[in-house]
Amino acid sequence: MRIALVSDAWRPQINGVVRTLETTVGKLRARGYTVETITPDQFRSIPCPSYPEIRLAIGSGREVARRLTGFGADAVHIATEGPLGWAARRWCLDQHMPFSTSFHTRFPDYVALRTGLPPSWFWPVVRRFHAPAATIMTATRMLAEELAGQRLPQTHRWSRGVDLDLFTPAAPRLAAMMGLPHPIQLYVGRVAVEKNIDAFLDAPVNGSKVVVGDGPARAQLQQRYPMVHFLGPLHGAELASAYASADVFVFPSRTDTFGLVMIEALATGTPIAGFPVHGPLDIIGEAEGRIGAMDEDLGVAIRKALTAQPAACAAEGRRYSWDACTDQFVAGLCVNTTMDLRHAA
């Protein structure tokens, strides 16, 4: 099968969406699929306002159409609602080519946080983008229910995965975190306003607070919270060691759709603390108390999570594999049978 994957989120961005897409593409190619990626690094681009590390492709419409026409995909997946995503959507509609999309980011909530306007003002754009898709891939049941409430019922479950050889309780401790007073409370992710990191850093819990990641709010937060340890972005074995060195992983976001970092933390045996919202609710669910805790008072959630069972956390983390994630992705693709028969001829 020939699969075209179009995404406005790609390297050098560092986030769960990019890791998910890159890993899935690698798994697909290892299985023998031919995958064409159409991403911002292949076009002239400009920095996204207030997100300079995010590059927005400009003048890409004709080139996206040319690439898709020349590739002859059996299936097109549009991962993001950016300029490349809209260009690919336009081509698919013009060619009567069925396509799938994915809902990785609560775009209305993010824009609302930055503009002060209500999220309801931005949902019409999201509905317009995703409505023609044959399937919309979503990470959780609760997110699928939310989209159905927004008149987007054609969802398909596409969960997330963890490198279970890397993220393990046996990961060595990170040198930069050794000797810190316990309990060590860790955040990993973008350092940006929509991640609500202030709620974590303001939580009245003794011990040490560690932030791993980078983003537009980092300099301001470092100045406001001089006692917090900002380690910058970590990858691979160092990232796994950071999770394994923490006593609790804190996920303060109220707007994320899933939170890949939470299942990475669990796989290392580290419990989760968060608000009772999408993401923590989906992952902790009925296992609250054993693998983490949720509370509208984040300090309470952190203290409760510290009593969770590391062995139960690791066992829950092992439920998420990239192979299963890739199986779900393939099952959610909408294959153009006309093109499929042409390639088989």
Q: HEC states along the chain?
A: CEEEEECCCCCCCCCHHHHHHHHHHHHHHHCCCEEEEECHHHCCEEEECCEEEEEEECCCHHHHHHHHHHHCCCEEEECCCCHHHHHHHHHHHHCCCCEEEECCECHHHHHHHHHCCCHHHCHHHHHHHHCCCCEEEECCHHHHHHHHHCCCCCEEECCCCECCCCCCCCCCCCHHHCCCCCCEEEEECCCCHHHCHHHHHHCCCCCEEEEECCCCCHHHHHHHCCCCEEEECCCHHHHHHHHHHCCEEEECCCCECCCHHHHHHHHCCCCEEECCCCCHHHHHHHHCCCCEEECCCHHHHHHHHCCCCHHHHHHHHCCCEHHHHHHHHHHHCCCCHHHHHHHHC
CATH 3.90.1310.10 fits 2-161+322-344, yes or no: no
Q: Check residue 343 and give its pLDDT.
A: 37
pTM (2 d.p.): 0.85
CATH number for the domain running over 175-317: 3.40.50.2000
Q: Check residue 113 and give its pLDDT.
A: 67
Q: Check residue 339 and give its pLDDT.
A: 47
Residues of the chain with CATH 3.40.50.2000: 2-161+322-344, 175-317
Q: Check residue 342 and give its pLDDT.
A: 37
What residues pair up with 305 in beta bridges, in sequence order?
none
Full pLDDT tens readout for the chain, 345 residues = 999 999 999 988 878 889 899 999 999 999 999 999 999 999 988 877 766 677 888 889 999 999 999 999 999 999 999 999 999 999 999 999 999 999 987 766 766 667 777 878 889 999 999 999 999 999 888 889 999 999 999 999 999 999 999 999 999 999 999 999 999 999 999 999 889 999 999 999 999 999 999 999 999 999 999 999 999 999 999 999 999 999 999 999 998 878 899 999 999 999 999 999 988 999 999 899 999 999 999 999 999 999 999 999 999 999 999 999 999 999 999 987 654 433 332
Q: Check residue 118 and give its pLDDT.
A: 82
